[in-house]
Amino acid sequence: MGILERRKEVKILIVEDNPTNMKLISNLIKKAAYEVLGAADANAGIAMAREERPDLILMDIQLPGMDGLTATGILKNDEKTRHIPVIALTSYAMKGDEERMTAAGCDGYLAKPIRYKELLQTVESFLREKHP
Ligand code: MN
């Protein structure tokens, strides 16, 4: 099976409240031929993760209502979803943020603006552990 066919079987959930960012990130993911799921807030993202069991989650940190770190903590405390790698999307990579993201259970993070090559490399590094 070729790499693009294999990627079609990989579901990536994007949790992002900003429609412009959502469109941009989901276009980048689609360009790489992965299947895309989207949720605009933490509650919808958690529900979708439980229902769809994506292979990876891209989680915006700043969300209306529940923030992305709290949502990640909930997913990591649920045995049905704890195995799913969560990559935090952050627009402010300040000192201490990395520790906060790790403490919340995030497996990695990407700083906005999101660039295609970096996104793809990060996503692939987490998927490789599951789909070698
Ligand atoms: Mn946001």
Give pLDDT tens digits for 83-112: 999 999 998 666 778 888 999 999 999 998
Give the three-class secondary structure for 96. coil
Whole-number Å distance, alpha carbon 81 to ligand 1 midpoint, is 22
Whole-number Å distance, alpha carbon 132 to ligand 1 midpoint, is 32
> Which alpha helices (DSSP H) does 32-94 contain, by range?
42-52, 68-76
Cβ–Cβ under 8 Å, residues 99 and 72: no
Whole-number Å distance, alpha carbon 119 to ligand 1 midpoint, is 17
- pTM recorded for the entire structure: 0.93
pLDDT at 131 over 80: no
Whole-number Å distance, alpha carbon 61 to ligand 1 midpoint, is 6
Q: Decide: residue 33, CB within 10 A, 0-12 exposed, 13-18 middle, 19+ buried.
A: middle
Arithmetic mean of pLDDT, 111-127: 92
